[in-house]
A and B are shown apart, each in its own frame.
Chain A
Amino acid sequence: MRNTKSTQLIFELSRSGRRAHLLPPADVPNVDLGSVLPSGALADAPPPLPELAEGDVVRHFTNLSTLNMSVDTHFYPLGSCTMKYNPKRNERLASLPGLVDVHPYQPESTIQGLLEILWNVQNDFAEISGLPAVSLQPAAGAHGELAALMVAAAHFRKLGQHRPNVLAPDSSHGTNPASAKMAGFETITVKSGANGLVDLNDLRSKVNEKTAVFMITNPSTLGLFDTQIKEIAEIVHSHGGLIYLDGANMNAILGITRPGDFGADMMHYNPHKTFSGPHGGGGPGAGPICVRDFLAPYLPAPTVGRKGDTYYLDQGGSDSVGRVRSFFGNVGVLLRAFFYIRSLGGSGLKEVSENAVLNANYLLSRVRHILPVPHGNRCMHEFVASASTLKKEKGISAMDLAKRLLDFGFHAPTVYFPLTVPEAVMVEPTETESKEMMDAFVEALFRITGESADLLHEAPHTTKISRPDEVTAARKPVMKWTAS
């Protein structure tokens, strides 16, 4: 039944002279732009884009969409990514006229409703984090990390302190050290202990008056809440450093504990994870940051303020690090977060975390009979199993498991991250999956571990393609179509 044409490239479908989008005739007197604009700046011909009929375009992209797994179609337990159901109501509401059609340079008097929403989003993010000052400007989690690290750098510059180092645990996400580098810091890795938590002795030996920030993900990428967090914060603070919380895992602790209450000075959210913004096949996201009051003057501006009943853009002062992007921020994603938060209310948000943690623990309790989970029998919103025994005994790797799960109709968990667990299989069910779905996943995993290694090495067997040659793709990169 599958349409075999769907893997032809749009360029291969092109036929000279075909049109889809037609424009109206000009209703103003004709001017020859060729004589108005400098001739040296003009093109001889328009770009060689493909030429198609409207129906061709629709069929092409519709067929392509059917080659994806997605949250709407499949269980997607991709650890660290919080692939929860994305409520349809949010899509409709964010597309209302008055929200979707507002230009970023409109006068404040014409966007009072929108500023009211954004002001509320700031307040909600502050309340959930326990950190009072908020900038909604960053465009994704990594961008928020970078913006917050610049805030820290500006703070220490103001204090006249030279602090060139950022510390981050070995289990941290790759964006942490990459963001630190872009903010001018050098990253020093702090080891995790056998229990998966920060090794306090290692931290003590590395933190000093050169430390600007310790970046911690808590709950961690192993799905563990670091019970020592208070002590960690005390150690770092006693050397004058700041605690940054990578908030990618906030789905576990909404309304239960707050980063500001457990010692964090700065954090980002990933509203495209925690607050149900759809991932769009790679984006968009948003990366709002929350900081303590003493760091507020350094935040990127503008933020939203309120005087009486009027909302306005606060352009910040001379201490602000400056802009990290154009315009206000990824408002479309923030609107969806606002609608999500209002749909659930304060107690509903807490239930989100309770159910996310319940689901993850249920899945853990069943998966650990199939694959060892090195860091204990309990977890927060996700857990990391290891296929290393399976690999040693049967030659079956985490990758083999991931690929074979696709045949059973499940998106694969995150594999080979965090780097501290060999053959890592990182599973995050989220609160929006049912027990039946998780049971089906466990049964599939169980069946797979009983299958022959040879079968698994060649998995998946039911998808349109299998095991693409990534080595050749990287060695002889073909990154665009060219007419043959």
Chain B
Amino acid sequence: MLQAIGAASVAELFESIPSELRLNRPLAIPPALSEIELTQHAKKLAGKNLGAETATCFLGGGAYDHFIPAVVDSLASRGEFYTSYTPYQPEVSQGNLQVMFEYETLICQLTGMDVSNASLYDGASATVEAALMCLAQNDGRRKVVVPESLHPEYRMCLKTYFQWIGAELVEVATPEGTLDLQAWTNAIDSQTACVILPQPNFFGIVEDLKPFAAAAKSAGASVVACVDAISLGILDKPSNWSADVVVAEGQSLGNPLQYGGPYLGILACREAFVRRLPGRIAGQTIDRSGKRCWVLTLQTREQHIRREKATSNICTNQGLFALRAAIYLSLLGPQGLKETALLCGQKAHYLKQQIASAPRYSIAFDGATWCEFVVRDQSGDVAGTLEYLQSKGILGGIPLGQWYPELSDCFLVAVTEKRTKCELDSYVAALKHLSVGAFVTNA
């Protein structure tokens, strides 16, 4: 090959790199491992972690230990799907493009929206992009109003992005875990571009959000719904409570926990917002001979065409996880999704009632919950409670003090369809054990 090139050595090919800029030593990176050695090394490191396959996982907070049917892994691990690029050549990407179109339709069916994109990074970045869409749509308005019951990390992301573009995040307190209509209405004004309403909220509470959406609408603001995808098996579509844009973390839809990512940012909207939508969209068309087929469409919104005038900078998205979500939703169907949501809710309800009977613990908020709820440790020793549960092989909850100092005696507990009554009873037994002789400060 060097002969064809007309070079004496491979080193000669790097001549354009000035010699004083070269790295004149080997990289300080450990030597190569064979596949056998690498496998042993990886197993050793993996073995130091306690995963949800070994422990019993009651952690949620935006990422859930739902069941993943074998079909999802099997299909998504086909090389034709996972080793292909973004479908720039539609003739040899009809598989991916059709999957994108089906995914978009499934998301519209789930949310009641008119249009979905083909995915964003995660629930938080989808929430930010939704806010940016509304700021652009309602030009001149610079405020976004959210309750403190919106995921704390999503609120942090909104702040991160807003500080450079002159937008303001208004956070409305939710001391009882739920929104207060008066406080909410007071926070919305003629500068409000949109509100973001979580359903269920970060504390697991389900509210009738219609009056809160209506308050935004009457001030001329748009409504962004931030929902749990599985909950839509039993909860009302956001389109029915006036949402203009819907976002969600799609991890629940057949995607593994893998310590926080890659996940799936779901973003769908009403027709009127479509030109503001960030990211890829697959659309239907016909080919040269009139055959139905799919292409990337409305690309003039995107960075590779419009550069700084694009609706967003997103390029690589989460295609593989949109595929997994499409397979998952196709497997579950309407009845499967509903039954999954019901099972989560019923099991969570049982655990919640049982925990309330352990003397040291109480349920922090009165609001109705679906699969997740907040437990108060009246002794205040949340760390002690969670450590004890961990010693019993239970990942028992997420301490809330890290985000809500006033809830430093509380933790968040999530229950999925995978949890058995036996596991729930073990959880309760552990809390009852901890309650024996507990010093109760404010029972």
Contact = CB atoms under 8 A, between A and B. Distances in A.
B426 interface: no
A272 B317 CA distance: 11
Contacts of B52: 101-103
B349 interface: yes
Contact of B336 (A21, A70, A92, A112): A21
B374 interface: no
A51 B333 CA distance: 5
Interface string A49-80: 11110100110111011111111111010100
B256 A26 contact: no
Given A111-B259, A331-B258, A323 B124 contact: yes
Contacts of B44: 113
Contacts of B322: 282
Given A128-B27, A174-B307, A284-B320, A28 B350 contact: yes
Interface string B38-55: 110111111111111111
Given A102-B258, A184-B165, A281-B86, A345 B29 contact: yes
Contacts of A81: 85
A303 B244 CA distance: 36
Contact of B1 (A9, A143, A362): A362
Do most interface residues of chain A lie in helix, strand or loop, or is the interface mixed?
A: loop
B104 to A, nearest CB: 6
B415 to A, nearest CB: 10
B19 to A, nearest CB: 10
B438 interface: no
A370 B27 CA distance: 39
A187 to B, nearest CB: 5
Interface stretch (B185-193, B324-332, B357-365): B324-332
Contact of A70 (B84, B256, B305): B84
Given A38-B368, A89-B35, A174 B95 contact: no
A116 B42 CA distance: 11
B283 interface: yes
A19 B335 contact: yes
Contact of B49 (A52, A98, A321, A469): A98
B18 A227 contact: yes
A68 B80 contact: yes
B27 A47 contact: no
B237 A279 contact: no
Contacts of A64: 94-95, 98-99
A276 to B, nearest CB: 10
A255 B23 contact: yes
Contact of B207 (A41, A69, A173): A41
A3 interface: no
Contact of B308 (A111, A178, A329): A178
A141 B315 contact: yes
A41 B228 CA distance: 13
A140 B314 contact: yes
A465 B89 CA distance: 11
Q: Which of A73, A100, A184, A349 has the most CB of B within 10 A?
A: A100
A378 B13 contact: yes
Interface in B303-343: 303-310, 312-323, 326-327, 329-340, 342-343
Contacts of B330: 10, 20, 49-50, 52, 57, 60
Contacts of B7: 361
A396 interface: no
B32 A283 contact: no
A280 B160 CA distance: 28
B102 A93 contact: no
A81 B86 CA distance: 10
A117 interface: yes
B260 A9 contact: no
Give the one of A280, A343, A403, A478 with max B CB within 10 A: A280
Given A378-B16, A463-B91, A481-B101, A179 B313 contact: yes
B395 interface: yes
A29 to B, nearest CB: 6
B261 interface: yes
A110 B156 contact: no
A343 B38 contact: yes
A139 B1 contact: no
Contact of B21 (A62, A257, A335): A257
Interface residues of B, number: 200
B45 A323 contact: no
Contact of B321 (A11, A65, A258, A284): A284
A69 B44 CA distance: 36
Given A105-B61, A139-B121, A283-B317, A21 B417 contact: no
B17 A225 contact: yes
A180 interface: yes
Contact of A142 (B39, B80, B316, B326): B316
A295 interface: no
Contacts of A97: 46, 51, 53-54
A464 interface: yes
A282 B99 CA distance: 12
Contacts of B439: none
B221 interface: no
A326 B208 contact: no
B284 to A, nearest CB: 4
A72 B35 CA distance: 19
A417 interface: yes
A480 B95 contact: no
Interface in B39-75: 39, 41-55, 57, 59, 61-63, 65, 69, 71, 74-75
Nearest to A438: B1
B51 A102 contact: yes
B87 A281 contact: yes
B430 interface: no
A477 B117 CA distance: 13
B82 interface: yes
A64 B1 CA distance: 38
A296 interface: no
B329 A49 contact: yes
B234 A43 contact: yes
Interface in B245-287: 249, 256-263, 274, 280-287
Contacts of B65: 101, 103
Contacts of B46: 96-99, 113-114
Contacts of B420: 27
A211 to B, nearest CB: 16
Interface in A130-152: 130, 139-143, 145-146, 150
Given A468-B90, A474-B298, A261 B21 contact: yes
Interface centre among A24, A113, A282, A324 (most CB of B within 10 A): A282
A236 to B, nearest CB: 16
Interface stretch (A202-210, A350-358, A385-393, A445-453): A350-358
Given A72-B79, A280-B82, A175 B315 contact: yes
A47 B287 contact: no
Contact of A472 (B17, B285, B326): B285
A469 B206 contact: no
Contact of A473 (B297, B349, B417): B297
A116 B45 contact: yes
B153 A326 contact: yes
27 contacts: A18-B333, A21-B332, A24-B343, A38-B368, A52-B331, A52-B333, A62-B78, A65-B81, A68-B94, A69-B84, A128-B29, A175-B313, A175-B315, A227-B17, A279-B85, A280-B318, A282-B319, A283-B317, A284-B318, A323-B160, A328-B260, A345-B32, A346-B30, A412-B88, A468-B285, A474-B299, A479-B101
Given A28-B350, A57-B330, A67-B98, 11 more contacts: A21-B336, A24-B343, A33-B349, A49-B333, A225-B16, A278-B83, A282-B322, A328-B259, A329-B260, A342-B30, A347-B27
Top 6 closest pairs, chain A to chain B, by CB: A327-B260, A282-B319, A280-B320, A72-B79, A113-B48, A98-B46
